């Protein structure tokens, strides 16, 4: 019944994710799965962290960007690619385009993190700044597509992007087959939707949980309302989660995800601190959202096996610690 539903209604299937993995595995890192006994004790569960902060460009976004770029035929690829992104997808698409030898025009909001701006430049992306509003990003991207003839690659909603993001969960579930839960952060929904397709296809009884900041809770509200409610003036330290769901990610999430839970800003910072101290790894605020949901008890996972996808580690540490006073 699950396979029929996936094939008949959803824009991305397990086969799509498997094909994506074949396409991109030569370019990506098979990232490590780490554990922490001290965080296990805090949560009361067996936690396994899929560490995409060790992925190329420092985030899971390289998986989807790489799949999208290498899915293009030669004619389309030759026109270059265009996207709008606050940072991680921008850097990922820039590197993927550089590997394939094509151009990448990147629309970034004027308030994007300096670290992420520098990353895009270092990977060869051409940055075009716009006002820090969702509609401004999309309008500028449309202008650049018309001017350049490039192919627009949406940060989260395109099926090749979703399929590529799902390869992180595919790697994890290929080696760990006894997970009871899998947690991911949710912004535009590419990671959560790709993860849910893989998880529910391989293990239908697994619980898939999306985690979101209270100050950017459009996915939570959209699922409750049964329709997309765009994010309005999101104000969260988790800058990678300020974007809204798209039509494809929403359609997958509403069918495949068991719940979306919310955490506040202090909880996000608290989770980052615990990860820094206990695991000795750098994670960005967006990654910490999923861990915060566990540490602060949003879901009862007592004595369960829980997978968490650490989505990225791109932090401007100087600015971050200044913000903490």
Identify the active-site residue in 36, 71, 85, 86.
Answer: 86
φ/ψ of 52, rounded to 5, equals -75, -5
How many C-beta atoms surround the C-beta of residue 305 within 10 A?
A: 17
Is residue 167 helix, strand or coil? helix
Task: Give the pair of three-digit tokens for residue 63.
Answer: 């998986």
Task: Give the pair of three-digit tokens for residue 324.
Answer: 């903490």
* Torsion angle of C-alpha atoms 231, 260, 295, 38, degrees rounded to 10: -110
Task: Give the pair of three-digit tokens for residue 73.
Answer: 């035929």
- How far, in Å, CA of 83 to CA of 105, rounded? 7
* Torsion angle of C-alpha atoms 33, 38, 44, 47, degrees rounded to 10: 0
How many C-beta atoms surround the C-beta of residue 282 within 10 A?
A: 17
How many C-beta atoms surround the C-beta of residue 250 within 10 A?
A: 21
Specify whether the CB–CB gap between 306 and 199 falls below 8 A.
Answer: no
Specify whether the CB–CB gap between 176 and 68 falls below 8 A.
Answer: no
Identify the active-site residue in 50, 56, 61, 116.
Answer: 61
Specify whether the CB–CB gap between 289 and 185 falls below 8 A.
Answer: yes
User: Does residue 61 have an active-site annotation?
Assistant: yes
Taking alpha carbons only, the member of 290, 183, 298, 175 closest to residue 240 is: 290
Beta strands of 171-236 (E only): which ranges? 181-185, 207-213
User: Does residue 122 have an active-site annotation?
Assistant: no
Catalytic residues: 61, 86
């Amino acid at each position: 019944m699950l396979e029929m539903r996936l094939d008949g209604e959803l824009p991305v299937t397990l086969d799509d994710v498997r094909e994506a993995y074949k396409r991109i595995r030569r370019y990506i890192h098979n990232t490590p799965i780490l554990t922490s006994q001290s965080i296990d004790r805090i949560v009361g569960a067996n936690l396994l962290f899929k560490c995409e902060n060790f992925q190329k460009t420092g985030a899971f976004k390289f998986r989807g960007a790489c799949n999208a770029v290498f899915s293009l035929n030669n004619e389309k690829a030759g026109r270059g690619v265009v996207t709008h992104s606050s940072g991680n997808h921008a850097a990922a698409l820039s590197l993927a385009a550089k590997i394939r030898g094509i151009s990448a025009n990147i629309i970034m909001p004027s308030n994007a993190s300096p670290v992420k701006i520098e990353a895009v430049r270092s990977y060869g992306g051409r940055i075009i700044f716009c006002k820090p509003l969702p509609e401004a990003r999309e309008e500028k991207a449309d202008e650049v597509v018309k001017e350049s003839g490039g192919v627009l690659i949406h940060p989260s909603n395109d099926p090749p992007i979703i399929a590529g993001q799902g390869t992180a969960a595919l790697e994890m579930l290929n080696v760990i087959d006894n997970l009871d839960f899998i947690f991911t952060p949710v912004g535009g929904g590419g990671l959560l939707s790709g993860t849910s397709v893989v998880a529910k296809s391989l293990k239908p009884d697994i619980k898939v949980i999306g985690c979101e900041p209270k100050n950017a809770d459009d996915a939570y509200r959209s699922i409750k309302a049964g329709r997309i409610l765009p994010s309005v003036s999101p104000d969260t330290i988790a800058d990678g989660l300020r974007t809204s769901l798209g039509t494809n990610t929403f359609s997958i999430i509403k069918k495949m995800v068991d719940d979306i839970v919310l955490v506040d800003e202090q909880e996000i910072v608290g989770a980052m601190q615990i990860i820094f101290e206990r695991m000795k790894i750098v994670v960005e605020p967006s990654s910490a959202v999923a861990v915060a949901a566990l540490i602060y008890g949003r879901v009862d996972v007592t004595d369960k096996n829980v997978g968490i996808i650490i989505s990225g580690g791109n932090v401007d540490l100087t600015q971050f610690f200044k913000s903490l006073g």
